[in-house]
Amino acid sequence: MNALIIPMPKAAVPLSESSERAAISCLLQNFACLDAMSWPEDLFFYEKHRIILRAIRELHEARVSTDFFAVQSLLDRQGLLDDAGGAQELIDLSTVMPTGDPGTAAWHRGYLMDARRYRTALSAVRKAEEGFLRQEGDIAGLAQVLTETAAMQDTQRAGLKDIIKNLTIEMEKTEPTECFGTGLGELDRTAQLKRGELLTVAAPTSGGKSIMLIQMALHALRAGKRVAVFSLEMPATQVVGRILSAMCGFNIGILKYVNRADTKNEHLNKFTAATAELAHYALEVESTLTEWEQIDGAVRELVAKDKADIVIVDYVQLVHLRALGSNETREQHVSELTKRLKSLAIHLNVAVVTASQLNDDNPPKLRESRAIGHHSDHVWFIGHGDTGSWLTVVKNREGERGGAFPILMHGAISQFVPRDERETQTTNKK
Specify whether 415 is located in the same domain as 281. yes
Specify whether 120 is located in the same domain as 215. no
Residue 268 lies in a domain: yes
Distance CA 282, CA 292 (A): 23
Residue 263 lies in a domain: yes
Helix (H) or strand (E) holding 227: strand 227-231
Specify whether 353 is located in the same domain as 413. yes
- For the chain, residues with pLDDT lower than 50 are 1-6, 8, 155, 421-430
- Selection from 206, 172, 173, 178 nearest residue 192 by Cα: 178
Residue type, 360: D
- Selection from 252, 187, 257 nearest residue 216 by Cα: 187
Exposed/middle/buried for 80, CB within 10 Å: 0-12, 13-18, 19+? middle
Which of 174-182's residues contact partners 24+ apart within 8 Å by CB, and which partners?
180/216, 180/219, 180/220, 180/225, 180/309, 180/310, 180/351, 180/353, 181/216, 181/219, 182/212, 182/215, 182/216, 182/219, 182/416
Specify whether 124 is located in the same domain as 220. no
Specify whether 133 is located in the same domain as 189. no
- Selection from 60, 38, 37, 57 nearest residue 49 by Cα: 57
Specify whether 203 is located in the same domain as 281. yes
Specify whether 307 is located in the same domain as 385. yes
Question: In which domain, by residue range, is 40 found?
Answer: 17-137
Specify whether 116 is located in the same domain as 217. no
Supply the pLDDT for residue 422: 45
Helix (H) or strand (E) holding 199: strand 198-203
Supply the pLDDT for residue 326: 56
Supply the pLDDT for residue 307: 92
DSSP strands (E only) in 257-403: 283-286, 310-314, 351-357, 378-385, 388-396
Residue 133 lies in a domain: yes
Residue 172 lies in a domain: no
Distance CA 112, CA 101 (A): 17
Supply the pLDDT for residue 169: 73
Q: By the 8 A CB rule, do 81 and 72 touch?
A: yes
CA atoms within 13 A on the CB side of 199: 26
Specify whether 352 is located in the same domain as 415. yes
Quote the number of domains for the chain. 2
- With vertex at residue 347, the alpha carbon angle to CA 403 and CA 208, rounded to the nearest 5 degrees, is 35
pLDDT in tens, 264-292: 688 899 999 999 999 999 999 999 988 88
Specify whether 82 is located in the same domain as 221. no
Residue 26 in 3-state DSSP?
Answer: helix
Residue 152 lies in a domain: no
Specify whether 248 is located in the same domain as 346. yes
Residue 269 lies in a domain: yes
CATH number for the domain including 127? 1.10.860.10
Residue type, 37: M
CB atoms within 10 A of CB 331: 14
Residue 305 in 3-state DSSP?
Answer: coil
Residue type, 106: A
Q: By the 8 A CB rule, do 369 and 335 touch?
A: yes
Specify whether 114 is located in the same domain as 231. no
Residue 157 lies in a domain: no
CATH number for the domain including 390? 3.40.50.300
Residue 316 lies in a domain: yes
pTM here is 0.64
